[in-house]
Amino acid sequence: MTLSRDELIRYNRQIILPDFGVAGQERLKAASVLIIGAGGLGAPNLQYLTAAGVGRIGVIDFDQVSLTNLQRQVLFNTDELGVNKATAAASKLKALNPETEFEVFETQISSENAMAIIVDYDLVVDGSDNLPTRYLVNDACLFLEKPLIYGAIFRFEGQVSVFNQELEHGSRGPNYRDLFPTPPPPEMVPSCSEGGVFGVLPGIVGSMQANEAIKVITGMGTTLSGKLLLFDSLDFTSRYLNIRSNENNPVTGSNPTITKLIDYEAFCAGPVIEEEVLASLSVHDLHADNSRYFILDVREPYEYDISNLGGLNIPLGQLKEQLEQIPGDKQVVVHCKSGVRSAQAINLLKQEGYTNLLNLEGGILAWQKEIDSEMAVY
């Protein structure tokens, strides 16, 4: 695929790089990359891969730009609040580089559509922020033999790797399931909305992903295939973990048990919580007589500081270490922001022998909506 005069000028600073040249730029122009998510990790990937001259970029995201995104998703601005992220991103990036073709998918990637979408791309970059999507995208890339650029962020730390890359002798490098064959318990994996994220971290990790994507496309350098890069932004250190093929990998191991895409929400949800565990209490009942109950707030301390119902604050991840603070002789109303973490907390506490638990229906969001509309909840 030949380059136009304008393209030779636009990409001059990388074309003149040793071992890159016109051939490397032509590989980028001929390549197609799918970005899963246009958020914290997806945005820098989109910006740098567009600027670098990738010929066709697909972006899939069902979410809309919100005010809480702007602290780290610097591709967007305040005027775009409420606009679909994939659409907003493609519109801006087309102005950055009109030579790149964009395909927008305003939908959530799922077991029903993943194979049909991914099959048309040479390489996939995972910018998702949840385990079901990570396992789904990994498995789809394995079945379709597509390389996958992995990235993850939490608080001040990030991870990057290259999965399923085709090696010189024709085999494939390790993949996500070689590292994590099965997911950890849901309560052990808080999201960025629960645990927070350092604003510049997605830009750093996303740029590392884009770097690996360009190397895979052009064949330059040594990629992170077979290695997991761990980056700590607080002390600015990096370390590497070696990844080897795992014979217990349920997709590519010696005895594969997964041969097609599955229900990844159920796969990552862990044991089903029995119905009686989720005995609940409405916000109106709690408001009418809160003296009868011991209120346990399992949100993070920063959430509690913004607004609370006056209960004891023990974050979900610290429950097992602070069980002595939770009474066994009084009904305990467990709540979080919406009811998800509190349900997980109840399941955990039941395993420790508690039988006096009630889940506050709708969490503090329901309290704001039905009891106190002026309560601040973020």
Residue 175 in contact with residue 258, Cβ under 8 Å? no
pLDDT for residue 184? 74
Q: Where in the chain is the domain with CATH 3.40.50.720?
A: 31-269
Task: Give the homologous superfamily in CATH for domain 275-370.
Answer: Rhodanese-like domain (3.40.250.10)
Tell me the per-residue pLDDT of 100-151, one tens digit each, with 9 for 90 and over.
Answer: 999 999 999 999 999 999 999 999 999 998 899 999 999 999 999 999 999 9
256's tokens: 């594969």
Question: What is the average per-residue pLDDT within 45-59?
Answer: 98
Residue 141 designated active-site: no
Q: Could you report the per-residue pLDDT of 155-185, keeping only the tens digit for each?
A: 899 999 999 999 888 889 999 999 988 887 6
Question: How many CA atoms within 13 Å lie on the side-chain side of 171?
Answer: 8
- pLDDT bracket for residue 338 (50, 70, 90): confident
Is 378 a residue whose pLDDT tops 70? Answer: no
Instruction: Name which residue leads in pLDDT, 165 or 270.
Output: 165
Work out whether the CA dihedral 314, 317, 322, 327 comes out positive or negative.
Answer: positive
Could you say which of 142, 192, 210, 213 is catalytic? 192
Lowest mean per-residue pLDDT among 34-38, 200-204, 288-292: 288-292
Using N-to-C axis directions, what is the helix angle for 42-52 and 201-218, rounded to 10°? 40
Give the distance, in angstroms, between the CA of residue 54 and the centroid of all CA atoms in the same chain.
23
68-91 tens-digit pLDDT: 889 998 999 999 999 999 999 999
Find the mean pLDDT for residues 12-24: 95
Output the pLDDT for position 192. Answer: 59
Instruction: Find all residues with CB under 8 Å of 248, minimum gap 6, and list them.
Output: 181, 254
Q: Which residue in the block uniquely carries the two structure tokens 């990036």?
A: 93
Q: Taking 60 as the threshold, does the pLDDT of residue 194 lie above it?
A: no
Average pLDDT over every residue of 352-377: 90
State whether residue 5 is helix, strand or coil.
helix
pLDDT, average across residues 219-234: 95
CATH for 31-269, options being 3.40.50.720, 3.40.140.10, 3.40.50.300, 3.30.1510.10: 3.40.50.720
Residue ranges, comma separated, of all CATH 3.40.250.10 domains in the chain are 275-370
Any catalytic annotation for residue 192?
A: yes
Instruction: Give the strand pairing for 157-163 and 227-232.
Output: antiparallel
Catalytic entry in 28, 57, 334, 336: 336
Residue 273 pLDDT: 45
DSSP string computed for 162-216: EESPBPTTS-B---HHHH-SSPPPGGG---HHHH-B-TTHHHHHHHHHHHHHHHH
